[in-house]
Amino acid sequence: MNTAVKLSHNDHVPDCRDCPIRHRAVCARCEAEELERLEEIKYYRTYPAGQTVVWAGDRMDFVASVVSGIATLSQTMEDGRTQMVGLLLPSDFIGRPGRDDAAYDVTATTDLIICCFRKRPFESLMEKTPHIGQRLLEMTLDELDAAREWMLLLGRKTAREKIASLIAIIARRDASLNLKGKDKSMVFDLPLTREAMADYLGLTLETVSRQITALRKDGVIQLEGKRHVTIPDFERLLGETGDDSDGGYLV
């Protein structure tokens, strides 16, 4: 049963101008008048951890931005096996204008809030508002780069490099959303359980736990509990990812 809750403005949801993902979301370049048009077609939904937002093949009458929390993109194969193919972090976009059906299962990994836009009005607004189309193109190209990065991560990197890479990706996003630099210690909560990390990276739970412990013992990361992470030196963490200084793979 779908337990998503639709929120109204009486539920203290953020105004577009005060939105925590405003500077990264699809509306990042919108001017005041354009934001007012978006306000007219938007609504919020919340999903508890583990709830499916949409199933692959379902008809979607909305597109959305992740406001808080994290979701996974996954695909089920004919024999029933499921492969996680992507993560949706705050400011990431769900759905595609011009496409009626969902391409992947979208599942809330943590408690999730998404800002939804009715699809047909959003598509119409895109035609009249170049800022939205331009920003969506930028985000799509970023998503393509991320997909290529994950092909490399899953295919060539060691277990330690995979864990370091995932932590670095989450750390960069947290810094970007909170407008923090990387010159100081970075502190954040991992949004994924170790089981979810293992599933996403194609590793066993034991391997994930062992590699996280090794990174902690080597001083690359500091842990409080299982999820509260401090990165004393981000450049050192990057050195553990297997990427060179230009972002390429070290061979």
In the block, tokens 């976009």 appear at 93
Q: Alpha-carbon distance 7 to 43, whole Å?
A: 7
33 and 138 in one domain? Answer: yes
Q: What is the pLDDT of residues 169-202, one digit of tens each?
A: 888 888 777 656 555 678 988 888 898 888 888 8
Q: What is the pLDDT of residues 130-140, one digit of tens each?
A: 888 888 888 88
Query: At residue 211, does pLDDT exceed 60?
Result: yes
Rounded (10°) angle between helices 130-156 and 159-177: 160
Q: Which residues contact 108 (CB under 8 A, 6 or more apart)?
A: 47, 48, 49, 50, 51, 52, 53, 69, 70, 71
Q: What is the mean pLDDT of residues 46-55?
A: 94
Least confident of 1-15, 43-57, 96-110, 207-221: 1-15
**CA 65 vs CA 16, 21, 154, 158: distances in Å:** 12, 9, 26, 32
Q: What is the pLDDT of residues 82-114, one digit of tens each?
A: 777 888 988 999 998 888 899 999 999 889 999
pLDDT of residue 128: 85
CATH number at residue 216: 1.10.10.10
Best CA proximity match to 86, nearest among 191, 201, 229, 188: 201
Helix ranges (DSSP H) in 42-193: 119-128, 130-156, 159-177
pLDDT of residue 231: 94
Query: At residue 45, does pLDDT exceed 90?
Result: yes
Least confident of 12-21, 92-101, 124-133: 12-21
CATH number at residue 134: 2.60.120.10
pTM of the model: 0.78
**CA 186 vs CA 7, 99, 146, 233, 247: distances in Å:** 32, 38, 22, 8, 20
Retrieve residue 122's tokens: 């959003």
CA angle in degrees (0–180, nearest 5) for 14-15-17: 120
165 and 138 in one domain? Answer: no
Q: What is the mean pLDDT of residues 107-129?
A: 91
Q: What percent of the chain has pLDDT over 70?
A: 86
Is 159 or 244 the better-scoring residue by pLDDT?
A: 159
Retrieve residue 215's tokens: 């990174």
pLDDT of residue 247: 46
Whether residue 151 is contained in a domain is answered as: no
pLDDT of residue 29: 84
18 and 126 in one domain? Answer: yes
Query: At residue 49, does pLDDT exceed 80?
Result: yes
pLDDT of residue 181: 56
Mean pLDDT computed over every residue of the chain: 84
71 and 114 in one domain? Answer: yes
Write the DSSP symbol of residue 227: T
50 and 131 in one domain? Answer: yes
Q: How confident is the model at residue 250 (pLDDT cuts 50, 70, 90)?
A: very low
Range of the domain at 203: 157-239
